[in-house]
Amino acid sequence: MGLRKLTASIHPRLAVVLHDLAMVWLAWTAANWLRYSFESNPPSAWQMAPDTVIALLVQGVVLWWTGLYKGLWRFASLPDLWNILRAAAIGALAIAVALFLYDRLESVPRSVLAIYPVVLSVLLGTPRLAYRYWKDSRFELLARVPARRVLVLGAGRTGEALLRELAHDARYRPVGLLDDNPALRGARVHGVPVLGTLEHLPDLARESAADMLLIAIPSATTAQMRRIVELCEDAGVPFRTVPRLQDVVAGRIGFGQLKEVAIEDLLGRDPVQLDWAAMRGGFSGQRVLITGGGGSIGAELCRQVARLGVESLAILELSEYNLYRIEQELRREFPDLLIDAVLGDCGDAAVCERVFARVRPQVVLHAAAFKHVPLLQNQVREAFRNNVLGTQTVAQAADRHGVGCFVLISTDKAVNPTSVMGACKRAAEIFCQNFAAQSATRFVTVRFGNVLDSAGSVVPLFREQIRNGGPVTVTHPEMSRYFMTIPEACQLILQAGVLGKGGEIFALDMGEPVKIRYLAEQMIRLAGKVPERDVAIVYTGLRPGEKLFEELFHDHENYQATKHAKIFLAQPRSVSWELLNAQLRHAAHAVRDYDEDALRACLTSLLPDFNWRAETESAHVVSITRQS
C-alpha cells in the first residue's frame, strides 16, 4: 500500500519532468534549425549532440532550481508564466557559460542562444495553459447544477481573491461587483464589471438576476455590516460572507470558505487592538489557576492563556462534564502544556487549600460564579455562598500562598444592583477591593456586560425558539443590553489583569447598548424568516431582578480612561475592613444555618442602595428614571 502511494505521488511529477526535458530538446533543436535553415551545409545531429546534452543538463537544473516542477498545471496562471520566462532566460545564460567553458562557443552561433529562450517559453507555457483550459471546461461540463449568478459586494483585495476562487467553482458565476468607491465604477476585475455602489444593491440585484450575494468586506465595522445586511434583506436575495480576519487567524474557519452572516457580525463590536507583548509578559511562563474554567468565559480564558505560553494551567471546576470537555480540548490543542484539572467547589476551603498547595499558582483568574438573574432571585443562600463567600475563600487562599495577581471577573449587573445576583457580585467586588490593601497580592476586578452565545444567555434561547417555529419571547420592547463576543471579552480581561496594580475595578468598553427586540428581529431574519409573519415576538414582562438597561459604573466611582482605549478604571469605594469582615462572618453563619433573612439583611448592610424587598416594577421605574 505504501509503495502504491509513493508511485502515485511520483508519477505525475516525473511525467512533468520528462515533458519539460523533451521541450528543452525540441526548443534547442528548433533554435538551431531556424539558425541553419538558410545555409546549404548545416551541421549534423551528431555534431550538435554534445551541445544538446549540455543544454539538457544545464536547463534541467535551472528548471528544478526555479521551482517550476512545484506548480500544478491545473492552476497554471500568470505567476507560472513569469517563472517559465525567468527559467528560460537564466537557462540560456547558464548554457552560454557552460558552452564557453566547453569549447569557447565555437560550435554554437550567438543567434541560437537568443532564439532558444523564446521558443522554450512557448513550448513550456502553451501545454500548461491548454491543460488548465481543458480541465476548467471539463469541470463546467460535468457540473450537475446550473451555476448560480452571484453579485460580489466589495471590489477590494478580498473581492478580487474571491473572484479568483470562484473561477474554479462551477457552482457560481460572478455577474458583477458593487463597491462604494466611485473611482471603480465601470472598471473590471478578472473580467467582472463593477456595476455600482452598495446603495443601489436592491435594484442591481434585480437587474442582474442575481441568485446570491457574497459579502467580501471582512474589514467592515459592525455598523457597516448592519447596513450591508439591511440592503441584502431589502434585495430579497440569499447572502453569504467571507470570514473575518480574526476568525481565520484563530483557526475557526478557512479564508476561502463562505459562511452565513452570524449575529456576532451584527452585534459584536469592532476588533480592538491589544497589547500582546504586555499580555505575554504578564502570563508567559507563569503558573495559572482558573476557577470555573469549564464555563463559557472560563473555557475561553483557558484557551487564551494556553496560547500565551504559560508554564502550567490548573482548572478548578464544579461541573464534571464541563471540566472533562475543556481538559480534552486543551490536551488535544496544546499537547505540551501542563494541565491540572480539579473537580471541586471553589467555596470549599479544603479544596482551595489543596489546589493552591499543589499547583502554587502565580496568577488566579476567578471566573466561577452563578449568573442567572431570575433563578438566583429566590436562591439567596446559594447566590451568596458561591458568588461572595466562594470569592472570599479563593482570595484568602491566594493571599496565603503568595499569588502575584488575582483577577475577579464581575458583571455590569453589580452596578446599582436590582437583583440578588448583581448584589452578590457587588459584595464580592467590595471584598476584593478592600482586601487588596491588606495583602501583597494584586487584586483586580474586571466588569463587563452580556457575552454573545454564552451558556444560558439570550442568543442560544432565541436560536432554539426560532428553530422550533417561535414565538420568540422578549421581556420588554425597550430592554437593552451591552454585548461582546466571548473571545474579545476574555482578551480584554487578560489585558486588564496586566494593567492592574491592585484594588482597581476595570470596566470594558462595551460599545453601544443593543435592544433585545432588535436582537430577536435580526436573529429571525438571519434564519431566513420574517419577524411577526413567520416567527412571532411575544413580550412577557420584566422578570424579578431585571433592569431595562445596564450600567458599567456607579455614579460615585469616578471612572477614568487607561492607556488602553477599551478599558476604563473605576475608583474604588473604601469601607471599614473590620465591619466588612464582621458582616461576612455573620453571612457565613447564615449560610451554614440556611438563614436567608439574615443574608438579605447582610446584603442590605453592605449595599445600602440595594432594596431586595422592592417590587419588581418599582425597581424598573427607578431604572427608567436613571436612563432618562
The pLDDT value recorded for residue 255 is 45
Are the C-beta atoms of residues 310 and 281 closer than 8 Å to each other?
A: no
Q: Among 196-200, 431-435, 492-496, 523-527, which stretch is predicted with the lowest mean pLDDT? A: 523-527
Please determine, for residue 615, whether its predicted confidence score (pLDDT) is greater than 50.
no
Phi and psi of 147, rounded to 5°?
Answer: -65, 140
Q: Which pLDDT score is estimated for 41?
A: 67
Q: How confident is the model at residue 562 (pLDDT cuts 50, 70, 90)?
A: low
What does the angle CA 598 – CA 602 – CA 608 come to, to the nearest 5 degrees?
135
pLDDT tens per residue, range 448-474: 776 665 555 677 778 788 888 878 888
3-state secondary structure 444-491: EEEEECEECCCCCCHHHHHHHHHHCCCCEEECCCCCEECEECHHHHHH
Which of 3-12, 425-434, 476-485 is predicted with the least confidence, judged by mean pLDDT? 3-12
pLDDT of residue 616: 41
- pLDDT band, very low/low/confident/very high, at 618 (cuts 50, 70, 90): very low
pLDDT band at 240 (very low <50, low <70, confident <90, very high): confident
What average pLDDT does this structure show over 223-235?
Answer: 80
The confidence score (pLDDT) of residue 546 equals: 64
pLDDT greater at residue 542 or residue 12: 542
- Helix, strand and coil in the chain, % to nearest 5: 55, 15, 30
C-alpha distance from residue 285 to each of 289, 306, 329 (Å): 13, 10, 21
Across the range 476-493, mean pLDDT stands at: 77
Secondary element (H or E) of residue 506: strand 505-508
For the chain, percent of residues with pLDDT exceeding 90: 20
Rank 134-143, 281-290, 397-406 by mean pLDDT and report only the highest. 397-406
- When pLDDT is cut at 50, 70 and 90, the band that residue 584 belongs to is very high
Q: What is residue 3's predicted lDDT score, i.e. its pLDDT?
A: 39
Q: What is the pLDDT of residue 257?
A: 53
- For the chain, give the number of residues: 628
Q: Which amino acid is at 395?
A: A
Structure confidence at residue 38 (pLDDT):
65
pLDDT surpassing 90 at residue 140: no
Determine the Cα–Cα distance for residues 275 and 177; give it in Å rounded to an integer: 37
Region 60-80 average pLDDT: 65
**What 3-state DSSP class applies to 568?**
strand
Per-residue pLDDT, 400: 94
Which one has a higher pLDDT value, 614 or 216? 216
Angle at 604 between CA 599 and CA 609, to 5 degrees: 150
Whether the pTM exceeds 0.75: the reply is no
β-strands 567-570, 505-508: how paired? Answer: antiparallel
State whether residue 551 is helix, strand or coil.
Answer: coil
Q: With 50 as the cut, is the pLDDT of residue 250 above it?
A: no
Q: Which domains does the chain have, with CATH numbers?
A: 2-141 (no CATH), 148-261 (3.40.50.720), 276-622 (3.40.50.720)
| Predicted pLDDT at 46 | 62
**Confidence grade of residue 133 (pLDDT, cut at 50, 70, 90):** low
pLDDT score at 10:
43
Mean pLDDT, rounded, for 581-592 = 92
Per-residue pLDDT tens over the stretch 103-115: 777 777 777 788 8
pLDDT in tens, 323-373: 999 999 999 999 989 999 999 999 999 999 999 999 999 999 999 999 888
Angle between helices 458-467 and 516-526 (to 10 degrees): 40
Average pLDDT over residues 201-217: 83
Does the structure show a pLDDT above 50 at 603?
Answer: yes
Q: What is the mean predicted confidence (pLDDT) over 148-152?
A: 83
pLDDT reported for residue 556: 56
Q: Average pLDDT, stretch 565-574? A: 70
Q: Which residue has the higher pLDDT, 52 or 297?
A: 297
Is the per-residue pLDDT at 405 higher than 50? yes
pLDDT in tens, 439-450: 999 998 888 776
Confidence of residue 6 (pLDDT cuts 50, 70, 90): very low
Q: Which of 15-29, 319-333, 416-430, 604-618 has the highest mean pLDDT?
A: 319-333
Provide the pairing of β-strand 442-448 with 505-508: parallel
pLDDT number for residue 253: 47
User: How confident is the model over 69-92, as a mean pLDDT?
Assistant: 68
pLDDT at residue number 351: 94
Q: Looking at residue 573, what is its pLDDT?
A: 66
Q: Does pLDDT of 320 surpass 80?
A: yes
Instruction: Please report the pLDDT score of residue 360 as a whole number.
Output: 94
- Of residues 305 and 70, which shows the higher confidence score? 305
Mean pLDDT of 530-558: 69
Residue 443 and residue 408 in contact, taking contact as beta carbons nearer than 8 Å: yes
623 touches 478 (CB < 8 A): no
Instruction: Assess contact for 262 and 279: CB atoms under 8 A.
Output: no
